[in-house]
Structure 1
Amino acid sequence: MSTADLATPSNPAAIFAALGDPTRLSLLRRLSSGRTQSIARLSVDTSLTRQAITKHLHVLEMAGLVSSLRIGRETQFAYRPEPIVAARTYLEEVAVQWDDALGRLKALVEK
């Protein structure tokens, strides 16, 4: 994923793409506790390798859903809620558009 794929409020596709994988959803859920966690800690109780965890975390980071901080030899990852808020706002806007379209269709059919 390139930096052009980074999620923005006007382009939430990267957020939805990152959330479209069960492993990434699981990692995000674990990180949403508010504590930063290392790759080693995130790989506990999973059948995934550290390399696989790293790959998934990179996708989440490119979408803006997590941030990383290098501390010595270890990288710590933290959840970032702002992209989820942007995605929720986008979905609410789409829902309003669909509600409006369905209302117009209903009015047309009932004429």
Structure 2
Amino acid sequence: MAPSIAVASTAQTKPGHRLKAAEAEVELRRRNEELEMELKRSTEREERMREELVRAWKRVTVAEEAEELLCRQLGELEAEAVEQAREYRTQILELMRQLSYAKQLLQ
């Protein structure tokens, strides 16, 4: 047997009960409208947060790409600096050799 709910007919209830039922119905309708408004505000807030999250994600993506570019550039500069250091070392060694030779000539 399926469960059932008994609903009193307003024609069978006393006038005081009908008034209370009408007030309860009005209160339920008012509360329902409040809940619908709150749901709408919540949905709008959720949409704004979603849009903000998308904007933040885009900023993070741009920052990551910039970081990768800077790392590549830094790597290139480091390689160039190492190459220059090697060249300077070679030049310094050559100058030291020449100075040593000049010193030997002077002696």
The question of a shared fold, defined as TM-score above 0.5 by the shorter chain, is answered with: no
Q: Which has the higher helix share?
A: 2
TM-score bracket for this pair, using the shorter chain length = 0.3 to 0.5
By relative contact order (CA 8 Å, sep 6+), the higher-ranking structure is 1
TM-score, length-scaled by structure 2: 0.33
TM-score, length-scaled by structure 1: 0.32
